[in-house]
């Protein structure tokens, strides 16, 4: 049963995309100068790289909290990228696919993340991390950004969950996971090093969140308990990632690489701890706000007659999770509140 729920986790992420170029100036301005943020990863940081005809995140009820209509984020509102950009005192960087739209967001960097993608190829036909970095390198070669621009640059890297979902959706076994984890983190380390060599001064990479606490995994317990088996996958990945990043920092001698503990931040928020400012208690933390009326439907589903086949909770602001795999805006804010004391490492 564990494997099947993890498989659904992977399939769910295939639907992922992102946000619109709507972004918001944050209330926290910790960084002086024109810092630029370059983002690589999946749905947790994607801000609009999939087309409107592809993603369910461009359909109701996504975006109902912010900006008040579907805008591409796979949430009811803001996502992790918005809060990290807010901390840096800038607006969310423009999605790569929107770079030629004459947007005013180019000075803030660029977002290369595509929901559903991973370090390697996944179940979704989108650019993996290597290809995302290729996009970045091409822009540098085309002089979109100069060496001076990169002197005040930060990269945010958030991915790997889809790699594990794809592995288990195939013929991968739990016994083979350690070797697979080693290969994922090894390639991830090569990619992190490459981003740094391209001129980005500081690279923040997220640890994997507790996949066993996602609603797709907790549904079988009526959203009461996390799956410790699946959480062990995240823990092992994070252990190997920690060792690898330490080696990278030893090699670079400038501590260019930082891990953002997404696992700990999620758990802190889900447990409703109030030792972090801004955290709020959630009524039923593991239960999603938006869900299909039956298991064959999901958030945003409509039938052939156009009738909606999903329900939305009365108070999204009281939910940590928005849908089966993504936090709500308030969930992301709680995660950000837990991460914020450690974000000074970004500069």
Active site positions, annotated: 43, 323, 326
Exposed/middle/buried for residue 303 (C-beta within 10 Å: 0-12, 13-18, 19+): exposed
At residue 156, φ and ψ (nearest 5 deg) are -115, 120
CA distances from 189 to 38, 80, 84, 157, 259 (A): 17, 22, 22, 11, 12
CA distances from 311 to 16, 64, 234, 288, 319 (A): 19, 13, 30, 10, 14
181 contacts 208 by C-beta, under 8 angstroms: no
Residue 20: partners with Cβ closer than 8 Å, 6 or more residues away? 47, 48, 63, 67, 71, 72, 73
DSSP state string for 176-221: THHHHHHHHHHHHHHHHHHHHHTT-SEEEEEPPP-GGGSHHHHGGG
Among residues 191, 185, 187, 195, the alpha carbon closest in space to that of 239 is found at 185
Angle at the Cα of 162 (from 161 to 167), degrees rounded to 5?
105
Task: Reply yes or no: is the peptide bond before residue 257 cis, omega within 30 of 0.
Answer: no
Residue 11 host element (H or E): helix 2-14
Spacing of C-alpha 81 from chain mean position = 8
Token pair of 279 as six digits: 């955290």
Q: SS3 for 35?
A: coil
Q: SS3 for 162?
A: helix
DSSP state at residue 65: T
Q: SS3 for 38?
A: strand
């Amino acid at each position: 049963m564990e494997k099947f729920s993890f498989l659904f986790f992977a399939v769910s992420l295939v639907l992922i995309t992102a946000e619109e170029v709507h972004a918001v100036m944050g209330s926290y301005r910790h960084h002086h100068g024109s810092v630029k943020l370059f983002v690589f990863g999946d749905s947790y940081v994607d801000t609009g790289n999939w087309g409107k005809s592809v993603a369910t995140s461009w359909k109701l009820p996504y975006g109902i909290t912010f900006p008040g209509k579907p805008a591409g984020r796979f949430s009811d509102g803001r996502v992790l990228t918005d809060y990290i950009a807010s901390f840096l005192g800038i607006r969310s960087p423009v999605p790569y696919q929107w770079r030629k739209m004459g947007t005013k967001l180019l000075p803030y960097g660029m977002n290369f993340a595509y929901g559903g993608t991973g370090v390697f190829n996944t179940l979704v036909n989108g650019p993996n991390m290597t290809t995302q970095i290729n996009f970045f390198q091409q822009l540098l070669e085309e002089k979109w950004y100069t060496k001076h621009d990169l002197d005040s640059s930060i990269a945010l890297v958030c991915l790997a969950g889809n790699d594990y979902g794809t592995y288990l959706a195939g013929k991968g076994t739990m016994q083979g996971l350690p070797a697979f984890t080693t290969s994922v983190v090894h390639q991830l380390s090569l990619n992190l090093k490459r981003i740094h060599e391209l001129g980005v001064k500081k690279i923040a990479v997220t640890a994997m969140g507790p996949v066993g606490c996602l609603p797709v995994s907790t549904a079988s317990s009526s959203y009461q308990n996390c799956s410790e088996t699946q959480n062990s996958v995240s823990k092992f990945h994070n252990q190997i990632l920690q060792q690898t990043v330490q080696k990278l920092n030893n090699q670079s001698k400038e501590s260019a690489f930082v891990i953002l503990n997404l696992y700990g931040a999620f758990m802190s928020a889900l447990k409703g701890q109030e030792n972090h400012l801004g955290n709020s208690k959630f009524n039923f933390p593991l239960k999603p706000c938006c869900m299909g009326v039956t298991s064959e439907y999901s958030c945003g589903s409509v039938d052939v007659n156009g009738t909606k086949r999903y329900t939305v909770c009365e108070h999204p602001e009281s939910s940590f999770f928005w849908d089966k795999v993504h936090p709500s805006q308030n969930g992301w804010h709680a995660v950000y509140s837990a991460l914020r004391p450690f974000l000074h490492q970004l500069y």
